[in-house]
Amino acid sequence: MKTLRPTRLMAAAALAFGVAASPLAHASKDVTFAVAIALETLDPYNTNSTLNQAAGKAYYEGLFEFDKDLKIQPLLATGYEVSPDGLVYTIKLRQGVKFQDGTDFTADAVKVNFDRVSNPANRLTRYTQFNQVDKTEVVDPYTVRITLKRPFSAFINALAHPAAMMISPAALQKWGKDIGFHPVGTGPFEFVEWKPAEYLKVKKFDGYWKKGYPKVDTLTFRTVTDNNTRAAVVQTGEAQFAFPVPYEQAASLAKNDKIDVVDRKNSIMARYMSMNTMQKPFDNPKVRQAINYAINKQALTKVAYAGYADVSTGVIPQGVEYAYKIADKGWPYDPKKARELLKEAGYPNGFESTLWSAYNDGTSVKVVQFLQQQLAQVGIKVSVEVLESGQRVQRVQQVQKPEDAKVRMYYAGWSSSTGEADWGLRPLLATDAFPPQLNNTAYYSNPKVDEDIKKALATTSKEEKTALYKDAQQTIWNDAPWAFLVTQGNVYLKTKNLSGVYVMPDTSFWFGDVDLKQ
């Protein structure tokens, strides 16, 4: 039998988990996911974090869901019909489902949840995803009718998104705005404990409607920000799953006969750097274009991602419906052109600014350091700050007025988690998506783009949608509110005895069949 000798790194991993570095056998099946960032809330309607919503799948369920390949499947719904005008959705619900507090899941719960998120007075982050809902009506205990203000062709996609979860009405009434600390849903696990910045723990829900599930007893999402430590805790047996893992270690990790290194090569996670277009010098498109020319994206894929990334060829990654490939090799790397544009814009000697990273994991640190070096070569001197989740929420996501925003350059990522171009554009680049509503951290506003998005949502014609989304994406590319960087690979690590867990194309997790062989 092969014996693992703990290295200093593995010992550090054990300290990060607060336990000894020896994988102990337990009668119960306890699974730990090592994740890169801390959870910020457990309310699925009040976060834009893919990780938060991925964790929410443990205790919450929606009417529909995306499977591991981002295909829509019914969950708490059993079927639906749409009126000919595309305004009314009549949805049949699954019977015999209980919330974890013992109350019944019925059409009343659907109404309570959608009334809550579609009411702008509640100021929920996901309001824009549901602001087309005019009213939700209970037809009978297991039938709900949702009427839209205008046709919304991606509505079922929006309902399959992990934001659209069913929260117990009794829990909402009990906890109110504090529901983000006390999740109660119909999912396979029930909430045990959440220590922000450390871990979230859930346990098997014995009253789960799907018999025989879940197959494990507990699930813990442990925050491990350091890339190397995150990989080490799987090697020591302290965790059974880790994402993301250090790209540069993937080849050596694959030699370990007790773990699997997985790259499903279907990522739609776009990485970009937004520029605040309401502030000088980023109000000048020539400056924004210069910054795109100044960054060697091909080198970035190697320096930060060890080759597990592809240069962005458009605004939205390939694999998202209606994504338009604009440039096969991405925005060209041309520092000479960058300097010329800066001179034309009135900045022949460059300028000084700030660059914030939305994340504090090891890969993100490498990315912003690389961007800092690249920009310096064309005279742009930036100070870099890596934000923790609380700082990100306070400084970026909760800013009420554009003129109060201190963000300038901002490294972030986004996946169109509805699988359609709408959610790759509207939350990030539409005028009504400025924080705190959504994530237009460029404060970019172009009426032409807004109109394209609006018309694309209203039509059911695939040809018309294709043309409208193409026009929007080409306009955005030319305006360059972002530096379009890469589509990152979704490389993850799991022990060989763990099954039924996948990283989805949007970097969310699917663990509906999670099991641990002992």
- φ, ψ dihedrals at 419, nearest 5°: 80, 5
Classify residue 394: in a domain, yes or no: yes
What mean pLDDT do residues 373-397 have?
A: 94
292 and 254, same domain (yes or no): no
Q: Is the peptide bond before 84 cis (omega within 30 degrees of 0)?
A: no
What mean pLDDT do residues 69-93 have?
A: 95
Mean pLDDT over each residue of the chain, to the nearest integer: 92
289 and 339, same domain (yes or no): yes
209 and 139, same domain (yes or no): no
291 and 143, same domain (yes or no): no
Q: Is 342 helix (H, G, I), strand (E, B) or coil?
A: helix
Q: Residue 16 pLDDT more than 90?
A: no
Which of 122, 149, 175 is the endpoint of a domain? 175
What mean pLDDT do residues 230-257 have?
A: 92
What mean pLDDT do residues 315-324 have?
A: 95
Token pair in block for residue 265:
């090569």
- Picking from 271-280, 375-384, 417-426, which range would have the lowest pLDDT averaged per residue? 417-426
CA 368 to mean position of chain CA atoms: 19
Classify residue 5: in a domain, yes or no: no
205 and 142, same domain (yes or no): no
Per residue in 182-237, pLDDT (tens digit) is 999 999 999 999 999 899 999 999 999 999 999 999 999 999 988 889 999 999 99
139 and 284, same domain (yes or no): no
**Best-predicted range by mean pLDDT among 68-72, 87-91, 130-134, 360-364?**
87-91
Query: Measured in Å, how far apart are the chain's first and last C-alpha atoms?
Result: 16
Q: Is 338 helix (H, G, I), strand (E, B) or coil?
A: helix
- φ, ψ dihedrals at 185, nearest 5°: -135, -155
**Cα(117)–Cα(45) distance, rounded to whole angstroms?**
7
Residue 211 CB neighbour total at 10 angstroms: 5
Contact between 165 and 114 (Cβ < 8 Å):
no
| pLDDT value for 1 | 33
Q: What is the CATH number of the domain that holds 209?
A: 3.40.190.10
Classify residue 84: in a domain, yes or no: yes
471 and 323, same domain (yes or no): yes
| pLDDT value for 17 | 54
Residue 123 CB neighbour total at 10 angstroms: 11
95 and 196, same domain (yes or no): no
Q: Which domain covers residue 90, as residue numbers?
A: 61-175
Classify residue 195: in a domain, yes or no: yes
CA 258 to mean position of chain CA atoms: 29
Q: Residue 39 pLDDT more than 50?
A: yes
Q: What is the CATH number of the domain that holds 93?
A: 3.90.76.10
Contact between 486 and 235 (Cβ < 8 Å):
no
413 and 470, same domain (yes or no): yes
Per residue in 336-359, pLDDT (tens digit) is 999 999 999 999 999 999 999 999
Q: Residue 240 pLDDT more than 90?
A: yes
452 and 303, same domain (yes or no): yes
* Nearest of 256, 320, 328 to residue 298 by alpha carbon: 328
Structural domain count, the chain? 3
| pLDDT value for 128 | 81
| HEC letters along 256-287 | CCCEEEEECCCCCEEEEEEECCCCCCCCCHHH
Confidence of residue 106 (pLDDT cuts 50, 70, 90): very high
Classify residue 223: in a domain, yes or no: yes
237 and 301, same domain (yes or no): no
Whether pTM exceeds 0.75? yes
* Nearest of 313, 327, 312, 280 to residue 443 by alpha carbon: 280
